[in-house]
A and B are shown apart, each in its own frame.
Chain A
């Protein structure tokens, strides 16, 4: 990756050889902090393994394939292993190899699943033994992390194994001895569903805040988007019109945010909260006065249908999850790629980041600070409005008052956990989606934990992550500061 990345924790990057052997005090502190959290996670995994019940843990799969189950899975596994080894051993620098290595265990797990099912709808493992294996693996990885074997190059891989091991052991613990199989395909499908609006909202926040405008109003943009999408879809019957209208109202609220923060220099955190209240009030009022009584005409949106991408959609297991989705989900994929590219590889992106970091310097070299900020906030409005559309035309159907239920604030949390980086924000949003879906699945399988406590888990995890993992997060330097030329 590039060295211009503003999220790089240390200042100027050190030479590669030094990175391998010498550890700066910051890195050391970070290693100990991350390591202790991983150790705690591993210890919890042991606890889970020790209390796992007898019997087998059953997992349901959709779209497993016999063909892939035998030959292709092995090929996939070997390729992944090779890629992981290459990522760790070859002298690449930066984040890409670590990210590859972090992703490898997950893909490996997927590959094993094709292999394990051999086309059948479910498979089961001995719960206790599996949980113990995972626990031992997690502990080993956490210890290796703390001891800093191989100069931290294994970190992505190790962290990923501990986290996946924890969740897998948790699942074994939760469904051990149950007759119902835990539906794994549903789990990933639902993760994507819950995460789609969060990702769009978080990306909107990234674009805004990289330009130096704090956006707490994502929730309000969601509400506007959800409301107009439902209204336009019901009255015109056109899904395209609904999405365009949702994006437009997202921009409308973004325009309020932009004008008040850039022109009238209103404190942006205050402004965001007020705009959320405003959007809640306006959509609530219009719903009460118009939509509720004419629900048949005004609030029966046409929910988007899934479109299967030929070829990709036929891949066993992954295909139906990723490539048999609504157009809104595809737009989300596109948005992640485009925002990442535009922000880090284009002239406009560089300008956005520069006015967010040091508007005065940007102004000195002739960048129109206010104009760049306006454009960033308004484009972000498109993303957030589309995210809002997901709640009605993308998934749920009819509009209900305050239906976004705080998802805009979760998107904000995802953005901060993801350290103001589009990919980081996406991963954090996926985590929230995963946890939400896991909770609803476990309710069905009837686990010993009350649902409300499970619902609480992702929020507690965020507190722990913000306090422990992310630490002193560094926002874009001028984020939230109005720029006054002079």
Chain B
């Protein structure tokens, strides 16, 4: 009846097929989404700014004041954001530090995506990984080199257990991974809180939930004298591994096949349950690696805030990265830069850090709806076969 009941895809493809390769089109859409998000952010900055508030009280007397105050506010805030993210060596190092766990967490979500699983449990897997790594880090005392390797492996195993459990339950009983991962996130948080009250984990002489600092042998070595540590390199290695796994290995082929069509894969003789278990095992391992980066790289003692919101931000990172390793790395870098820049913005212009959360959400929202972005930026070419793997419901 009305036009709004007509899905957009319905329109016949009147637009020209561009000669651009797929990745270029995606990059254009992503860039447009970022521009749109910055516009939304600008509106929020303007309504939140003190000077704009006072100037708008006499808006009709001198509208120019309001407009110039608004422009100044937006300009100042975004300048601080940009300088805080990439304006010099230290800001760049801080951005990379922030991006490190986001990349690993994002890979954990991406890999599950490609297998047709929605892994909301990166948070829990990260926490369990951090618990394992921290315990090896402060309770064991090993020589230089070996200690770090063992601690990282412990963290990876911890995350893999937490993630693999989900895959196993899904394969054996059909328990939906969304529910199980949400629940296991809570279990992991309470497990961490409880452990930090036990004598095995709580720092002697302290009553608050904090563990001893991990041995210096178990800490990631610093790169370049600021907070950036070796974990960042590991994150890139992990991305390369995931790329190899998905695109060059037999197992990865099975994972992608199951993700694309589980019924067809079953008919072709693949074990869907095995694919689910492997995917969640590896995804958990990647999230566990992110946990080691948090606790052995930046935090050093284990606290109940070790995961912050990294596990949840990983989901948006993976969505922005469209489930590919390269995209996830780029998305992780972007969000890391936004986080680092957001801190500077808050310091310099008193614009709340939560603005970056809005920016992140709006970016992903627009990226997920290319049809909408195209209806705003008419020059964008059409895109083919986007998100076929992701377009699934509960029953998929």
Residues in A lying within 8 Å of B, measured CB to CB:
209, 212, 214, 216, 260, 262-271, 273-275, 277-278, 280-282, 284-290, 368-371, 374, 401, 406, 409, 412-413, 416-417, 450, 452-453, 455-456, 459-460, 462-463, 466-468, 470-475, 477-486
Known A-B contacts A262-B7, A274-B368; A463 and B183 likewise in contact (beta carbons under 8 Å): yes
Would A412 and B182 count as touching, CB distance under 8 A?
yes
Measured in the bound complex, the distance between the Cα atoms of B393 and A374 in whole Å is 18
B392 within 8 A of A: yes
User: Cβ of A475: which chain B residues have Cβ within 8 Å of it?
Assistant: 393-395
4 closest Cβ pairs, A-B complex? A480-B393, A281-B357, A288-B352, A281-B358
Q: B393–A214 contact, CB under 8 A? A: yes
- State whether A466 touches B4 (Cβ < 8 A): no
B46 → A minimal CB distance (Å): 11
Looking at chain B's contact residues, the main secondary structure is helix
B365 lies within 8 A of chain A by Cβ = yes
Asked if residues A473 and B176 are in contact (CB atoms below 8 Å), the reply is: yes
| Complex interface: chain B residues within 8 A of A270 (CB) | 319, 364, 368, 390
* Interchain CB contact under 8 A, A285 and B354: yes
Contact B48 A481 (CB under 8 A): no
Which residue of B4, B356, B365 has the most chain A CB atoms within 10 A of its CB atom? B365
The answer to whether B365 touches A274, judged by C-beta atoms less than 8 angstroms apart, is: yes
Identify the closest chain A residue to B362 (Cβ): A278
Residue with the highest number of chain A CB atoms closer than 10 Å, among B44, B184, B186: B186
**Which of chain A's residues has its CB closest to B395's CB?**
A475
* Besides A479-B393, A482-B391, 13 other A-B contacts (C-beta < 8 A): A264-B372, A274-B316, A275-B361, A277-B316, A285-B48, A289-B47, A290-B48, A452-B190, A463-B169, A475-B393, A477-B395, A480-B395, A485-B6
Question: A167 to B132, alpha carbons, bound, how many Å?
Answer: 33
Q: Are B316 and A273 in contact (CB under 8 A)?
A: yes
B391-A267 in contact (CB<8A):
yes
**Inter-subunit contact A274/B393 (CB<8 Å):** no
Q: Across the interface, which residues of B come within 8 angstroms of A478, CB to CB?
A: 393
With A281-B355, A406-B186 known as contacts, the answer to whether A273 contacts B315 (CB < 8 A) is yes
Which residues of A lie under 8 Å from residue B394 when comparing CB positions? 209, 214, 473, 475, 479-480
Min Cβ gap B162→A in Å is 12
10 A-B pairs within 8 Å (CB atoms) are namely A264-B8, A273-B315, A285-B358, A289-B48, A452-B190, A455-B186, A459-B190, A480-B394, A480-B396, A482-B391
A277/B312 contact (C-beta < 8 A), A214-B393, A466-B179 known: yes
- Closest residue on chain B to residue A484 by CB atoms: B7
Are A453 and B190 closer than 8 Å at their CB atoms?
A: yes
| A267 and B390 in contact, given A260-B369, A277-B316, A462-B179 (Cβ under 8 angstroms) | yes
In angstroms, how far is the closest chain A Cβ from the Cβ of B102? 13
Q: A285-B358, A472-B174 are in contact. Are A485 and B10 (CB under 8 A)?
A: yes
Q: Are B190 and A282 in contact (CB under 8 A)?
A: no
Tell me the smallest distance from the CB of A51 to a CB of chain B, in Å: 21
Which segment of B83-91, B191-199, B224-232, B272-280 sits at the interface? Answer: B191-199
Which chain B residue lies CB-closest to A372?
A: B5
Is B120 close to A, CB under 8 A?
yes
Q: How far is the CB of A23 from chain B (nearest CB, A)?
A: 21
A461's nearest neighbour on chain B, judged by CB, is: B183
Q: Compute how far the CA of A167 lies from the CA of B351 in the bound complex, rounded to whole angstroms.
A: 50
Inter-chain contact B352/A265, CB cutoff 8 Å: no
> Cβ of B250 < 8 Å from any Cβ of A?
no
Within B152-208, the residues touching A (CB, 8 Å) are: 169, 172-176, 178-180, 182-184, 186-187, 190-191, 193-194, 197
Is the Cβ of B175 less than 8 Å from the Cβ of A450? no
For the complex, give the distance between the alpha carbons of A416 and B174 in Å: 13
Partner pick for A455 among B178, B190, B393, CB 8 A cutoff? B190
Q: Does B380 contact A (CB under 8 A)?
A: no
Closest to B375 in A: A264
Does the CB pair B180–A466 fall under 8 Å?
Answer: yes
Residues of B within 8 A of A216 (CB): 178
Assess whether B143 is interfacial by the CB under 8 Å rule. Answer: no
Is B268 among interface residues, defined by CB-CB distance under 8 A?
no
Q: Which residue of A lies closest to B389 (CB)?
A: A267
Is A486 a contact partner of B10 (Cβ separation < 8 A)? yes
Min CB–CB distance A271 → chain B (angstroms): 6
Q: Does B1 contact A (CB under 8 A)?
A: yes
Which of B118, B172, B175, B315 is the most central at the interface, judged by chain A CB atoms within 10 Å of its CB?
A: B175
Contact B4 A269 (CB under 8 A): no
Question: Are A459 and B187 interface neighbours, CB within 8 A?
Answer: yes
- Specify which of B5, B172, B173, B183 is in contact with A413 (CB 8 Å cutoff): B183
Q: Which of B4, B179, B182, B316 has the most CB of A within 10 A?
A: B179
User: Do A278 and B393 form a contact, CB below 8 Å, given A368-B1, A456-B186?
Assistant: no
Q: Given A267, A471, A482, which contacts B174 in the complex, CB threshold below 8 Å?
A: A471
Per the bound structure, the CA–CA distance linking A486 and B12 in Å amounts to: 12
Instruction: Given A264-B371, A265-B8, A285-B48, decide whether A277 and B357 contact each other with a Cβ distance below 8 A.
Output: yes
Task: Decide: B5 and A370 in contact? CB cutoff 8 A.
Answer: yes
Q: How far is the CB of B287 from chain A (nearest CB, A)?
A: 16
| A266-B7 in contact (CB<8A) | no
B4 touches A263 (CB 8 A): yes
CA–CA, A357 and B193, complex, Å = 43
From residue B370, how far is it (CB to closest CB) to chain A in Å?
Answer: 8
B371 near A416: Cβ-Cβ < 8 Å: no
Nearest CB of B to A419, in Å: 12
Contacts of A282 in B (CB 8 A): 44, 358
Q: Does B360 interact with chain A (Cβ within 8 Å)?
A: yes
